Amino acid sequence: MTDLFVPLDDRPAYRQIANLIEQRIVGRSLRTGDALPSESDLARQFGVNRSTVREAIRELEVHGLLGRGRGEKRLRVTRPEPRRVSSGVSRALALHDVTFLELWEAMMALEPAAAEYAAARRNAAQLRDLTRAGARFKRAAADTDAAVAAVVDFFTAVAAASGNQVLALSQAPLNLLLAPALTRIVDRVPQARSRIAEAQGKITAAIKLRKSEQARIWMEKHIRDFKRGHELELLKGER
Amino acid sequence: MTDLFVPLDDRPAYRQIANLIEQRIVGRSLRTGDALPSESDLARQFGVNRSTVREAIRELEVHGLLGRGRGEKRLRVTRPEPRRVSSGVSRALALHDVTFLELWEAMMALEPAAAEYAAARRNAAQLRDLTRAGARFKRAAADTDAAVAAVVDFFTAVAAASGNQVLALSQAPLNLLLAPALTRIVDRVPQARSRIAEAQGKITAAIKLRKSEQARIWMEKHIRDFKRGHELELLKGER
DNA sequence: CGTGGCAGAATTGTCGGACAGTCCGATTAT
DNA sequence: ATAATCGGACTGTCCGACAATTCTGCCACG
């Protein structure tokens, strides 16, 4: 059933080296914050050229496992930031031509859950971020881009308040995909702004009062509105 | 309020070049399947050294935007495979020390939704993959690793059958995180195997008969069982 | 006409070395 | 103690080179 021979992989040295370093990191023998040895040093240790080490390092840097603070020369072991990894996911999804419906269904699964947990577990600072994002949306009356950014921040704040990193990281890429579609909706559907503002208000209130079920329900209504808005926008676009 | 000056970013050339090429790809002026110009050619076009181009290329290769078929020399534009990107996400989550509860809550949000849509939209081939994964789980009586792999495949098959790429890609990283926890559960909780097999059977049947609500409900029960199994396993582990 | 084989060109992976710019740490001056 | 200075270390980039492998066009052959 299984093949007798597997394609032999003499993977290039830079990939092998990247894997070796990665193992040290995920195995925690290189701990977060540790400075990596210099490139020349690594080249000596691995017995390869510095150019080869550099290509390996690029790989880990992209993964977010290595990084350096602004204006810092030496690389240090870092934990991948949610922003970095989620932007990769959303780009992948964009290249796969996901439809609005697919995006919407995923949001419909994740966001109400996040809202529910947020109501149960939010702390004062998270609540403040939430109200702040809501206020920023209301203030962005004319500026569509600012309004869309505020909506994204609102979702991000809810996810953060949920106290669940997995939910937050799963939800983050959706925001980036939502932005362009939402821009068109806000631009073309007049009632969108007021409906969003109202939903955000209700959700924030529920989270503030720790009413999980209310938070979930209003988030569901909020997301459902997006679908309606998208359909309206499509009609106007085709005119 | 805002700073008068922002830190100027003289991003290294290899990063700028990576961005330029990436823009060509996401902007579709380099289309999927196209062969990339040779490294020397790119170096000439950008007016930099080949080493610099190589570092830029590594970056895009990691993102899955560039790749090459087995035994192929020249790079071609590819669409990022779900496996690649989701493994990145799960590694990020692992490094952030997510708890089982966080993972479980996210699964509880995503998997029932995926099951529901799968029942509504699955085709024959997807149903076959589903039953096959279920059969493979039953067959893996002794082999824990094989059983866990079968469970992962089952979830993957459900997500694929949902016909929603966003759900599928959001759910994939969770599988990789689930595996180690599930291994311990299956090893230590005797009744786990039979309960999983039963749940998989019910879910598969519901998806086969296109009963969305049934599929969702049974998937919820299935996931809930994981939490109970995890708690039992913890008790045994502390003994 | 299709097919296989072959030589040469092209391309990648890796190497060694080099150099300017900048960051860091230690030393010295105020 | 704080500030200025200086040398070393390190990164970003470049140049040139070479072996191994793949690609390509061409030719002979069935």
The three-class DSSP label of residue B58 is helix
**Average pLDDT of chain B?**
91
Encoding tokens for residue A152?
A: 């994204």
Q: What is the pLDDT of residue B7?
A: 61
Nearest to B215 by CA among B226, B204, B225: B204
pLDDT in tens, B12-45: 899 999 999 999 998 888 889 888 999 999 999 9
Looking at residues A159-165, what average pLDDT do you find? 96
Q: What is the pLDDT of residue A15?
A: 92
State whether residue B35 sits within 8 Å of chain A by CB. no
Any idea what DSSP says for residue B77?
A: E
* A109 pLDDT more than 70: yes
**Pairing of β A76-77 and β A66-67:** antiparallel
Looking at residues B146-151, what average pLDDT do you find? 94
Comparing alpha-carbon positions, the chain B residue that sits nearest to A104 is B166
Mutate to test the interface with B, among A5, A28, A65, A166 (most CBs of B within 10 A): A166
* A123 pLDDT more than 80: yes
**Average pLDDT of chain A?**
91
Answer whether B93's CB lies under 8 Å from A166's CB.
Answer: yes
Fill in the amino acid letter for A209: L
Measured CA angle at A61 (ends A59, A62), to 5 deg: 70
Helix (H) or strand (E) holding A77: strand A76-77
* A10 pLDDT more than 80: no
Spell out which residues of chain B touch residue A95, defining contact as CB-CB under 8 Å. 25-26, 32, 65, 79-80
> What is the rounded CA–CA span in Å between residue A100 and residue A178?
8
Looking at residues B144-165, what average pLDDT do you find? 95
Any idea what DSSP says for residue A79?
A: P
Answer whether A177's CB lies under 8 Å from A103's CB.
Answer: yes
Which residues, at least 6 apart from A75, have a Cβ–Cβ distance to it below 8 Å?
A: A35, A36, A57, A61, A66, A67, A68
Asked whether residue B73's C-beta has any atom of DNA/RNA strand D within 7 A, the reply is yes
> What is the rounded CA–CA span in Å between residue A25 and residue A35?
12
The three-class DSSP label of residue A51 is helix
* B237 pLDDT more than 50: yes
Closest nucleotide to A74: CA versus each C1': D10
> What is the rounded CA–CA span in Å between residue B146 and residue B134?
12
Q: What is the pTM of this model?
A: 0.89
Comparing alpha-carbon positions, the chain A residue that sits nearest to B112 is A109
The three-class DSSP label of residue B223 is helix
Q: Which residue has the tokens 């792999």?
A: B149
State whether residue A100 sits within 8 Å of chain B by CB. no
- Rg of chain B over Cα atoms, rounded to whole angstroms, equals 23
Nearest to B156 by CA among B195, B182, B129: B129
Q: What is the pLDDT of residue A184?
A: 92
d(CA B4, C1' C23) / Å: 25
Region of poorest pLDDT, from A25-29, A58-62, A70-74, B117-121: A70-74
Asked whether residue A165's C-beta has any atom of DNA/RNA strand D within 7 A, the reply is no
pLDDT in tens, B47-75: 999 999 999 999 999 999 999 988 788 89
User: Among A54, A59, A96, whose Cβ lies nearest the Cβ of B79?
Assistant: A96
List C-alpha distances in Å: B191 to A62, B141, B239: 43, 12, 18
Answer whether B218's CB lies under 8 Å from B199's CB.
Answer: yes
* B159 pLDDT more than 80: yes
Nearest to B96 by CA among B152, B170, B178, B177: B177
Residue closest to C15 C1′ by Cα: A49
Q: What is the pLDDT of residue A3?
A: 47
B contact residues 178-217, partner A, Cβ 8 Å cutoff: none
Fill in the amino acid letter for A8: L
* B238 pLDDT more than 80: no
Answer whether A108's CB lies under 8 Å from A222's CB.
Answer: no
* B225 pLDDT more than 90: yes
> What is the rounded CA–CA span in Å between residue A129 and residue A135?
10
For chain D, which bases have at least one atom within 7 A of a protein Cβ? Answer: 9-17, 21-23
Q: Which residues of B50-83 are buried (b: 16+ CB within 10 A; e: fewer)?
A: eebbbbbbbbbbbbbbbbeeeeeeebebbebebe
Asked whether residue A221's C-beta has any atom of DNA/RNA strand D within 7 A, the reply is no
Which residues, at least 6 apart from B154, have a Cβ–Cβ distance to it below 8 Å?
A: B130, B133, B134, B137, B200
pLDDT in tens, B179-193: 999 999 998 888 899
B contact residues 163-182, partner A, Cβ 8 Å cutoff: 164-167, 169-170, 173-174, 177
Nearest to B163 by CA among B103, B212, B225, B224: B212
* A157 pLDDT more than 60: yes
What is the end-to-end Cα distance of chain B in Å, rounded? 57
Asked whether residue B67's C-beta has any atom of DNA/RNA strand D within 7 A, the reply is no
Encoding tokens for residue B127?
A: 């149903």
